[in-house]
Chains A and B, each alone.
Chain A
Amino acid sequence: MKRLGAWLCCALLVVITCGCAQPKKAVNEIELWHWMTDRQDALEALARKYEQETGIRVKLSLFAPSDSYIQKIIAAAQANVLPDIYGILDKKTIFASFIKAGLVADLTSAFEADGNAWGKRFFVKAVDNNRFAVGNMDGVKPGIYGVPLDVSTVQMIYNRNLLKKAGIATVPATFEEFLAAVKALKRVGIVPFVTGFGETWIVDCFASNYAFNIMGEAKVMATFRGEVPYTDPDWMAVFTVFQTLAKKGAFIEGIVTKGNKYAEQDFALERAAFSFDGSWGVNIYKSMNPVLDYGVAPLPALKAANPMRVWGGAGSSLVVNALSPNKDKAVAFLQWITDTPQQAYLSEQTNNLPSNREASVGISPILGDFAKAMEQSTHPRVWILNEDPIVVEAFDKGIQSIIIGEKTPAQVAVEVQKIKLRQMGKVKRP
């Protein structure tokens, strides 16, 4: 019994000596929560520099993986203990619900002050990602609510050495040229194309690039409004792109179960000639295969009438807690970190595209190529309308089943349209 008592006392002692009180926040301190493991060191260096310059300490807390971070943010929001600066890693509807709950500060006046001095620094699309336009479908007061820390574009990348081996002199710009390249690569035993089609967002991204190219943005939006059916010949052409590529043997084996990380490994290790990836891949290729010789281009267009748009602009963004007593200090820090010298440093250290246009002048040539598409980029976050998530899920899964030969484009089109009609019956769209 005495020994038990001793053990219990020891346990109590351990707990007490380890400290139970919540650490108190210093007066000149702002807190920032993020999920960006690859940017932690660079952000810490910048935070130290900021403290030296201003005397304000920025306390960085990293929570990864991103799923855990999302849980943390949601729980902290409900308990009303969000930090001064944080990021909302979720769909724009969730972003909107945070704003409507009064947890995100409206930064429009800060962006537009002094003749839009802060706003002018950024790529337009980067700001648009954080903007809620007039008449937005989420019912949020129009304004800018987030600060882009960096940006990204998702495009086709190609391995110069493998193309050379297959005798391909120029990068295919049209779908016909791409099919010819696939044939040439297969002839010499090179896998033509790899990407992470196991992740539905990549399927969606790839398909929407072709949808914009084949029918233009207006018709895509009309489809979302329910005015154009998915059985329309243009949508059939989108589905057929996947069927054609699958039939021609363009895809690496198991592409519909491949996560993007594994697809990036395959491309870095020269197991495929083409890939479809974001600008973040530059960092991965550099660490896995420093001598990889590759370039970047938009996906080969199927029709000349509409430009091939790429997804972009949606990098990492941070928001300011509207309830924070340090709101002004938080905004001042975000203005400082998005200034050109800090953005150049972040880009150099992390190989990500800076959100500040001026900082993109000195970046590496390959990142520069990714950045060129920024002004022509698009993203679901900036569209006036988004498709119902249930329809998007059916659309993406339908494409996966086309790739594995389980269904035809016509079958998938009918199925998606059926779900679309069902969802439209449930929700009135603006």
Chain B
Amino acid sequence: MFFNKHKIENFFKSALIHVFLMIVVVSCLFPIFWMVRSSLMSNATIFVDPSLIPQELHWSNYVVAWTKGNFAVYFLNSMIYTISVVMGIVVVSSLAAFAFSRLKFPGRDFLFYIFVAAMMIPLPGSFVPIFVLMNKLHLVNTRLGYILCMINVGLCLSILLLKTFFDKMPSDLEDSARMDGCNRIQIWWHVALPLAAPALAVIVIYNSLNVWNEYILATLLLSDNNLMPLQRGLMVFNGAYQVDYPVLMAGLTMTAVPIIAIYFLMQKHIVKGLSSGTIGGLYDPA
């Protein structure tokens, strides 16, 4: 009797959890499905045809999005920006976080708090100073200027995450490495960075998303169409008065594919990073 009751209880608990998880899955996947479905419709049917699968599939929307949106150029640009910026952020933030955490120098805490305080400044608030500075450095309308600004944008949070992680790293590990003949840079490279892999995965995915979807700073700093990122292509279909929804959705679908691919590639690390508490410190001595 007890066994049956227990079994029934477990069944209902499990069913409840599964129903909840199904709702979460559907609520996450449905917008993506709707985007793909809308990308295959026409302007005339997109708001009147409520069917999940359109009767007539307009694959030509993808061709229009790719050609009219000049996606080939923008895709390449976004790849360059994302790779360069993420690499820059990983290198600079891990070095800075390691220094803030493991080195002792005057004004260390003050400098760190300045970095953290920079997170409080909204990006639009710094538009004019950034533009004026970049102009003085002759970096307006250059890839390098945009890459440097985007690295700067991503540094604060990445340094905060990695410093919290490095703070929890036992000093014994550092001492052992030093006894083995490692200098500080080698400790950072051979000891600290491998241990920080889950945190780095979170930083990579977060910043990749950030750079891939960024447009406002690009609009501000870049004027040449050939330097613009992918989001610029999407704006062509999102006019001030008129929005070409099916083609916009086709463009969005194409834009989303690489970032979904990055997520799948790094999924294992991200889940590990998040589940072991990136913000609270990832290091697990075991």
Interface of B is mostly: helix
Q: Are B235 and A11 in contact (CB under 8 A)?
A: no
Contacts of A283 in B (CB 8 A): 241-242
Selected contact of A290 from candidates B44, B130, B219, CB within 8 Å: B44
Given A19-B142, A288-B43, A68 and B238 touching (CB < 8 A)?
no
Given A20-B144, A269-B48, A290-B44, A37 and B238 touching (CB < 8 A)?
yes
A280 at the interface (CB under 8 A from B): yes
Q: Are A22 and B216 in contact (CB under 8 A)?
A: no
Interface string of B58-79 (1 = CB under 8 A from A): 0000000000000000000000
Q: Are B43 and A287 in contact (CB under 8 A)?
A: yes
Chain A, Cβ-Cβ closest to B234: A64
Q: Are A71 and B144 in contact (CB under 8 A)?
A: no
Chain B, Cβ-Cβ closest to A285: B242
Contacts of A1 in B (CB 8 A): 185-186, 189
> Could you say which interface size class chain A belongs to?
35 or more
B124 at the interface (CB under 8 A from A): yes
Chain B, Cβ-Cβ closest to A23: B224
A8 at the interface (CB under 8 A from B): yes
A63 at the interface (CB under 8 A from B): yes
- The answer for the CA separation of A281 and B241 in the assembled complex, in Å, is 7
Number of interface residues of B (CB under 8 A): 46
A-B Cβ contacts below 8 A, count: 120
Contacts of B157 in A (CB 8 A): none
Among the stretches B24-32, B107-115, B131-139, B270-278, the one at the interface with A is B131-139
Q: Are A37 and B236 in contact (CB under 8 A)?
A: yes
Chain B, Cβ-Cβ closest to A71: B127
Q: Are B240 and A22 in contact (CB under 8 A)?
A: no
Interface string of A277-295 (1 = CB under 8 A from B): 0001101100111100000
B88 at the interface (CB under 8 A from A): yes
User: Which residues of B236-253 have CB atoms within 8 Å of chain A's CB atoms?
Assistant: 236-244
Chain A nearest CB, measured from B56 CB (Å): 16
B225 at the interface (CB under 8 A from A): yes
Selected contact of B47 from candidates A8, A69, A288, CB within 8 Å: A288
A248 at the interface (CB under 8 A from B): no
Q: Are B87 and A11 in contact (CB under 8 A)?
A: yes
Q: Are A79 and B132 in contact (CB under 8 A)?
A: yes
A180 at the interface (CB under 8 A from B): no
A15 at the interface (CB under 8 A from B): yes
Selected contact of A288 from candidates B44, B147, B189, B237, CB within 8 Å: B44
Q: Are B142 and A4 in contact (CB under 8 A)?
A: no
Chain A, Cβ-Cβ closest to B86: A11
**22 CB < 8 A contacts A-B:** A1-B185, A4-B189, A11-B87, A18-B144, A22-B138, A23-B224, A31-B223, A36-B239, A37-B236, A37-B238, A64-B236, A65-B240, A68-B216, A68-B219, A74-B127, A74-B128, A261-B241, A269-B47, A269-B48, A281-B241, A284-B242, A287-B43
On A, residues with C-beta under 8 Å from B are 1, 4, 7-8, 11, 14-15, 18-23, 31, 33, 35-38, 40, 61-66, 68-69, 71-72, 74-76, 78-79, 81, 83, 261, 265, 269, 280-281, 283-284, 287-290
